[in-house]
């Protein structure tokens, strides 16, 4: 189990991915994202997660450069947007992301949503990028079990990661079990349900016992469920606080209490109903 911010999980291809990272969804391009990335890396974060559609890859790249960290010490993720899916357009989108970030390679590149009729061609493009060594690991985002099964039937290389909405109101237990069975690492976006879960009394009570905030309790729950997590923050203190989750352990009873809050409730779209 992760015991520090630098701890990693080994993906099925042998690449080591940090358990914990910074997400930059809705973080403004320019100073806000530059400072957020720089502060996170200087706090000890190794993993930064962005996407083409976030419109802040330039700033993420700038923050990486200003942090002074060695490239090989970092784990940088981006994603191909729905409008760019398809074989050739994905290859072009990847190059655009790389140029904006100012990097020679990515550590992880994901298909952002399972666009019907397109994601298999998109996956072929990711396989090509992977074989060429331009990305160290490839994966998907927002894929349900049926999307994964469909992809696995046609894929030459199995996805290493599936990044999905995951939090105590959306525990996705079947998906987690399926991914574990296929050696696909589950990763959580919106782990705090955009702040809504911070008001939950059960989580607050558990936090009091450990002297931890509701956010820290939830992020610890992610890690103990063996789910990689990437909370977003632009506040330097919160970036530090989010990462302060390695000095305590939830009991099995507390883990179950938190899991029992599940409502199968989303803040983002359902991948089956997403208007592509």
DSSP letters along 97-151, please?
HHHHHT-S-BSEEEESS--TTTHHHHHHHHHHHHHTTSBS-EEEES--HHHHHHH
pLDDT at 274: 83
Q: In this structure, are residues 166 and 188 in contact, taking their beta carbons and an 8 Å threshold? A: yes
Cα-based distances in Å from 91 to 51, 134, 247, 249:
15, 11, 42, 43
Half-sphere exposure of 14 (CA within 13 A, CB side): 0
pLDDT at 2: 82
Assign 275 a pLDDT band (cuts: 50, 70, 90). confident
Looking at 1.20.1300.10, 3.20.20.100, 3.50.50.60, 3.60.150.10, the CATH number of the domain 8-196+227-233 comes to: 3.20.20.100
pLDDT per residue over 60-69, tens digit each? 999 999 999 9
Write out the catalytic residue numbers: 54
Give the residue extent of every domain in the chain: 8-196+227-233
CA 98 – CA 91 distance, rounded (Å): 11
pLDDT per residue over 24-41, tens digit each? 998 999 999 999 999 999
Does residue 1 have a pLDDT over 80?
no
Backbone angles phi, psi at 8, to 5 degrees: -130, 160
pLDDT > 70 fraction of the chain, expressed in percent and rounded: 100
User: 3-state class of 239 per DSSP?
Assistant: helix
User: 3-state class of 172 per DSSP?
Assistant: coil
- If DSSP states are collapsed to H, E and C, what string results for 89-106? HHHHHHHHHHHHHCCCCE
Buried b (16+ CB within 10 A) or exposed e, 228-245: bbbbbbbeeeebbbbbbb
Identify the H or E element spanning 186.
Answer: strand 185-189
pLDDT per residue over 6-27, tens digit each? 899 999 999 999 999 999 998 9
């Amino acid at each position: 189990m992760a015991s520090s911010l630098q701890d990693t999980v080994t993906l099925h291809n042998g690449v080591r991915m940090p358990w914990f990272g910074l997400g930059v969804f809705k973080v403004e391009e320019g100073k806000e994202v530059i400072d957020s990335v720089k502060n996170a890396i200087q706090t000890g974060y190794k993993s930064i997660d962005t996407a083409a559609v976030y419109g802040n890859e330039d700033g993420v790249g700038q923050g990486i450069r200003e942090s002074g960290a060695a490239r090989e010490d970092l784990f940088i993720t981006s994603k191909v947007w729905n409008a760019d899916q398809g074989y050739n357009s994905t290859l072009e989108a990847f190059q655009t992301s790389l140029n904006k970030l100012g990097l020679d390679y990515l550590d992880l590149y994901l298909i952002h949503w399972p666009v019907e009729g397109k994601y298999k061609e998109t996956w072929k493009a990711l396989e090509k990028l992977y074989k060429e060594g331009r990305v160290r690991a490839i994966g998907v985002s927002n894929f349900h079990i049926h999307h994964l099964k469909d992809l696995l039937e046609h894929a030459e290389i199995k996805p290493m990661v599936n990044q999905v909405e995951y939090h105590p109101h959306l525990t996705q237990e079947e998906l987690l079990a399926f991914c574990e069975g296929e050696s696909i690492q589950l990763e959580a976006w919106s782990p705090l349900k955009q702040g809504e879960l911070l008001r939950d009394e059960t989580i607050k009570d558990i936090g009091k016992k450990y002297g931890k905030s509701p956010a820290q309790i939830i992020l610890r729950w992610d890690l103990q469920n063996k789910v990689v997590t990437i909370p977003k923050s632009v506040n330097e203190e919160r970036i530090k606080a989010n990462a302060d989750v390695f000095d305590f352990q939830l009991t099995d009873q507390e883990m179950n209490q938190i899991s029992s809050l599940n409502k199968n409730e989303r803040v983002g779209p359902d991948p089956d109903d997403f208007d592509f």
